[in-house]
A = this chain, B = another copy of it.
Amino acid sequence: MHRIKVKVVEEALDANNTIAQANRADFDRAGVRVVNFMSAPGAGKTSLLERALADLPGVRVGVLEGDVQGSLDADRLASLDLAVAQLNTDPGFGGECHLDANMVRSALPALPLAELDLLVIENVGNLVCPAEFRVGEDRRVMVSAVTEGEDKPLKYPLMFRTCDLVLVNKIDLLPHLDFDLERFLYYLDQVHPDVPRMLLSARSGEGIEPWRQWLSSVAATEGALA
């Protein structure tokens, strides 16, 4: 029985990868770089985008907001000079806990791809399934908030392993937590040795500048990125 189940999952992933490649071809044709942005619920993805995207001179940015329901995050970003589209996984997709390539593909007509340099896809808050579905992105970024505890790399290894950058958020709270930063970084290196990481706080603004520069440099990269 489990063997059958695994087979079905593999077929689903293959279909996903096929559509992800089609997305990728569209992104390349439009000359837009794409970041798949992931984290647990409440880790601070939208706040980190608000901080970074409010001042990204010369970069035309779009955001695709993925949520089970509602448009809270898209509404928050609407005050910035961005192209924002909301993709809900509840109606039509059945309340999915992640974005997949087909959902992203269905939302692309809502975005002016050819007029963008950078598209950030804010995934559904979840540390498991989003890591399993490529959507055609150039880069994968995840946020891990220090309020979530040191053990998260060991408990959700695929997410930490498949990322190109780990943002360690809410460091303004470190004085008030028992969080052992050294241990977290040790676990992170066990799961994904030497993955680039940035310590920052969307609330205080500390460490935001390197994150902003990272987004700018991804947007400015010519040619193959993978």
Give residues in A with beta carbon < 8 Å to B.
Answer: 2, 5-6, 9, 40-42, 67-70, 72, 92-97, 124-129, 132, 145, 147-149, 151-152, 154-158, 170, 172-173, 176-178, 203
The 9 closest A-B pairs by CB, nearest first: A42-B148, A97-B128, A147-B147, A40-B41, A42-B149, A97-B129, A176-B176, A41-B127, A9-B94
Q: Which residues of B contact A94 (CB under 8 A)?
A: 5-6, 9
Are A157 and B69 in contact (CB-based, < 8 A)?
yes
A172: chain B residues at CB < 8 Å are 176
Give min CB distance, A19 to chain B, whole Å. Answer: 12
The 8 listed contacts between A and B (C-beta, < 8 Å) are A2-B93, A5-B94, A40-B40, A41-B148, A69-B157, A70-B154, A72-B155, A173-B177
Given A40-B42, A41-B127, A72-B151, 5 extra CB contacts under 8 A: A41-B152, A42-B152, A68-B158, A125-B155, A172-B176
- Bound Cα distance A156, B145 (Å): 19
Most buried by B among A95, A96, A170: A95
Contact B126 A97 (CB under 8 A): yes
Q: Once bound together, how far apart are the Cα atoms of A96 and B178, in whole Å?
A: 30
Chain B: minimal CB distance from A101 (Å): 14
Q: How far is the CA of A210 from the CA of B129 in the complex (A)?
A: 35
A176 touches B173 (CB 8 A): yes
Q: Give the complex CA separation of A127 and B39 in angstroms.
A: 12
Cα–Cα, bound, A177→B202 (Å):
12
Neighbouring B residues of A145 by C-beta, 8 Å: 42, 147
